[in-house]
Amino acid sequence: MTQYRPVWAPDGVEIEKPSTARMYDFYLGGSHNFAADRQLAARTIEAWPDVPHLCQANRAFLRRSVTHLASLGVDQFLDLGSGIPTAGNVHEVVHAINPDARVVYVDADPVAIAHSKALLAQVPEAAAVYADLRDPDAVLDSPEVAGFLDLARPVALLMFAALPFVPDSDDPAGIVAAYRDKTAPGSYLALSHGTGDYRPEAVRRVEDVYTQASHAMRLRSRDDISALMDGYELLDPGLVDIILWRPDPQSPPDPLGGDVTRYSMFAAVGRR
């Protein structure tokens, strides 16, 4: 069936292949998704009804961790697998603390980057680049990153819910280490990652659904996620369930009753 093609869809985008970026946009209540994305997202929610809540918890961790890093004086951010712009984008969170800080968004989804560029047209301190995060040299040498960030100074690398889309065969720990080794001492990594430790059956069902998407999804054990932070000294409270990373006392009551197994995501921030 041919699908209706909205005017905002960038040329060349495959609207009939569900995209992980657009499915995530759908879970967050966004409007930059197509029928194929919504259908597969609905199947994911059937397999794990808590998915929209865990996406919100991931965004809340983004806000808390980026606010913390900006408050520590970090003024350069590289957001890898940044997604389609939504409420509380990294540059907005950062600029509330330091309007001169620089942010570069990297994603391999054409809709995510087209919308990021449109949003950033009036924001000289931020840029977006269409690139594959699995190729650290290509990302770091791209004109948008090399011309915008000074990698001789500390930078915060952000990998929020992005590494589950890097299969084991692509060596996610090796990719993270390559970025780490190319950043200056005093740089940071903030990371969130889904886990199959608590609810392996439900996770298997979700992984199954995602075999139909643009990127397969691989949720990992706490030990494997901990290994991704190698070479970083973890800030308090370490690698923890996502809702337990420096929770905001002002936030409304937890919609899942604080049951960390229903979120099944770990989060950490480390300094190299």
Q: Which positions lie near ligand SAM, rule CB under 6 A?
A: 20-21, 24, 58-59, 62, 81-83, 106-109, 112, 132-134, 160-162, 165, 215
* In the complex, least distance from residue 253 CB atom to ligand SAM, rounded to whole angstroms: 22
* In the complex, least distance from residue 61 CB atom to ligand SAM, rounded to whole angstroms: 8
* In the complex, least distance from residue 133 CB atom to ligand SAM, rounded to whole angstroms: 4
Query: CB neighbours of 133 closer than 8 A, spacing ≥ 6?
Result: 80, 81, 106, 108, 139, 159, 162, 166, 175
CB-nearer residue toward ligand SAM: 24 or 188: 24
Query: CB neighbours of 218 closer than 8 A, spacing ≥ 6?
Result: 164, 165, 166, 167, 168, 207
* In the complex, least distance from residue 248 CB atom to ligand SAM, rounded to whole angstroms: 17
CB-nearer residue toward ligand SAM: 131 or 260: 131
Across 30-64, b (16+ Cβ under 10 Å) vs e yields: bebbbebbeebbebbbebbebbbbbbebbbbbbbb
CB-nearer residue toward ligand SAM: 13 or 256: 13
* In the complex, least distance from residue 135 CB atom to ligand SAM, rounded to whole angstroms: 8
CB-nearer residue toward ligand SAM: 91 or 152: 91
Q: Which two tokens stand for residue 183?
A: 């950043």
CB-nearer residue toward ligand SAM: 66 or 186: 66
Whole-number CA gyration radius for the chain: 18
State residue 77 phi and psi, 5-degree precision: -135, 135
